[in-house]
Chains A and B, each alone.
With several copies, the nearest count.
Chain A
Amino acid sequence: MFEILKNKEVGPDIFYLVLKCDELSEQPKPGQFFNVKISRKLSTDPLLRRPFSVFDFDEDQNILELVYRKVGRGTEILSKYKAGEKLDVIGPLGNPFSTEKRSGLIHLVGGGMGIVPLHYLARTLEKGEKKVFLGAENSDELEFFTKRFKKMNVEIHRAAMTEKMEIKGSVLVLWMNYLDQEKPLFVYTCGPEKMLSAVEKECLKSSIQGQLSIERRMGCGIGVCLSCSCETTEGNKRSCVDGPVFTLGEVVLNA
Chain B
Amino acid sequence: MPEKNASEKFDLSIDLAGLKLKNPLITASGTCGNGKELDNYFDINKLGAFTLKGITVSPRKGNKSPRIAETPSGIINSIGLENPGIDQFIKKTIPEIAEYRLPFFCNISGYSEAEFLELAEKLCGRKEIAGVEVNLSCPNIEGGGLAFGTDPKTVYSITKKVRKIYDKLLIVKLTPNITDITEIAEAAESGGADCVSMINTISAMKIDIDKQKPLLGSLTGGLSGPAIRPAAVKMVYDTFKKINIPIIGIGGIRNGKDVIEFMLAGASAAGIGTINMIEADAALRIIGEIKDYLKKHNIKRLSSLIGKVHI
Whether B68 pairs with A217 at a CB distance below 8 angstroms is: yes
- Selected from B225, B254, B277, the residue in CB contact (under 8 A) with A220 is B277
Whether A48 pairs with B82 at a CB distance below 8 angstroms is: no
Flag A213-238 by CB within 8 Å of B: 1 or 0 each.
00011111011111111110000100
Given contacts A44-B73, A229-B65, A230-B65, contact A224 B226 (CB under 8 A): no
Flag B249-271 by CB within 8 Å of A: 1 or 0 each.
00000100000000000000000
CA distance A241 to B280 in the complex (A): 14
- Selected from A48, A90, A220, the residue in CB contact (under 8 A) with B276 is A220
Given contacts A222-B37, A229-B67, contact A47 B61 (CB under 8 A): no
- The listed residue with most A CB atoms (<10 A of its CB), out of B31, B72, B277, is B277
Whether B73 pairs with A236 at a CB distance below 8 angstroms is: no
A69 within 8 A of B: no
Whether A216 pairs with B65 at a CB distance below 8 angstroms is: yes
Residues of A near B68 (CB, < 8 A) are 48, 217-219, 225, 227
- Selected from A46, A216, A218, A225, the residue in CB contact (under 8 A) with B31 is A225
Whether A225 pairs with B79 at a CB distance below 8 angstroms is: yes
B245 within 8 A of A: no
A130 within 8 A of B: no
A73 to chain B, nearest CB (A): 8
B125 within 8 A of A: no
- Selected from A45, A222, A223, A229, the residue in CB contact (under 8 A) with B82 is A229
- The chain A residue with its CB closest to the CB of B67 is A227
Contacting B at CB under 8 A, from A158-200, are none
Whether A48 pairs with B277 at a CB distance below 8 angstroms is: yes
- The chain A residue with its CB closest to the CB of B216 is A217
Flag A40-68 by CB within 8 Å of B: 1 or 0 each.
00001111110000000000000000000
Flag A93-130 by CB within 8 Å of B: 1 or 0 each.
00000000000000000000000000000000000000
Residues of B near A228 (CB, < 8 A) are 65, 67
Flag B21-38 by CB within 8 Å of A: 1 or 0 each.
000000000111100011
- Selected from B33, B82, B227, the residue in CB contact (under 8 A) with A224 is B33
Whether B74 pairs with A224 at a CB distance below 8 angstroms is: no
Contacting B at CB under 8 A, from A71-101, are 74, 90
CA distance A29 to B9 in the complex (A): 44
Residues of B near A131 (CB, < 8 A) are none
B293 within 8 A of A: no
Contacting A at CB under 8 A, from B36-53, are 37-38, 40-41, 53
CA distance A254 to B135 in the complex (A): 32
CA distance A226 to B30 in the complex (A): 8
Whether A220 pairs with B65 at a CB distance below 8 angstroms is: no
B77 within 8 A of A: yes
Residues of A near B225 (CB, < 8 A) are 44, 47
Residues of A near B61 (CB, < 8 A) are 231, 236
Whether A217 pairs with B66 at a CB distance below 8 angstroms is: yes
- The chain A residue with its CB closest to the CB of B229 is A44
CA distance A249 to B236 in the complex (A): 42
Residues of B near A45 (CB, < 8 A) are 72-73, 226
CA distance A47 to B230 in the complex (A): 14
CA distance A46 to B71 in the complex (A): 8
Given contacts A44-B225, A217-B66, contact A222 B74 (CB under 8 A): no
CA distance A227 to B40 in the complex (A): 19
A218 to chain B, nearest CB (A): 7
Whether A226 pairs with B82 at a CB distance below 8 angstroms is: yes
Whether B79 pairs with A47 at a CB distance below 8 angstroms is: no
Residues of A near B73 (CB, < 8 A) are 44-45, 47
B70 within 8 A of A: yes
Given contacts A48-B75, A226-B79, contact A37 B278 (CB under 8 A): yes
B109 within 8 A of A: no
- The chain B residue with its CB closest to the CB of A231 is B61
- The chain A residue with its CB closest to the CB of B280 is A222
Residues of A near B67 (CB, < 8 A) are 217, 219, 226-229
Given contacts A44-B225, A48-B278, A220-B276, contact A227 B37 (CB under 8 A): no
B303 within 8 A of A: no
CA distance A223 to B69 in the complex (A): 17
Whether B65 pairs with A47 at a CB distance below 8 angstroms is: no
- The chain A residue with its CB closest to the CB of B81 is A226
- The chain A residue with its CB closest to the CB of B66 is A217
Whether B37 pairs with A224 at a CB distance below 8 angstroms is: yes
B220 within 8 A of A: no
- The chain B residue with its CB closest to the CB of A241 is B37
Whether B278 pairs with A227 at a CB distance below 8 angstroms is: no
Whether A44 pairs with B30 at a CB distance below 8 angstroms is: no
CA distance A228 to B33 in the complex (A): 13
Whether A224 pairs with B62 at a CB distance below 8 angstroms is: no
Residues of A near B77 (CB, < 8 A) are 219, 225, 227
A-B contact pairs, 27 of them (CB 8 A): A37-B278, A44-B72, A44-B226, A45-B72, A45-B73, A47-B75, A47-B225, A47-B278, A48-B68, A48-B70, A74-B70, A216-B65, A216-B66, A219-B67, A219-B277, A222-B277, A224-B37, A224-B280, A225-B31, A225-B68, A225-B277, A226-B79, A227-B65, A227-B68, A227-B77, A227-B79, A228-B65
Instruction: List the 3 closest A-B pairs by CB distance, nearest first.
Output: A220-B277, A224-B33, A227-B68
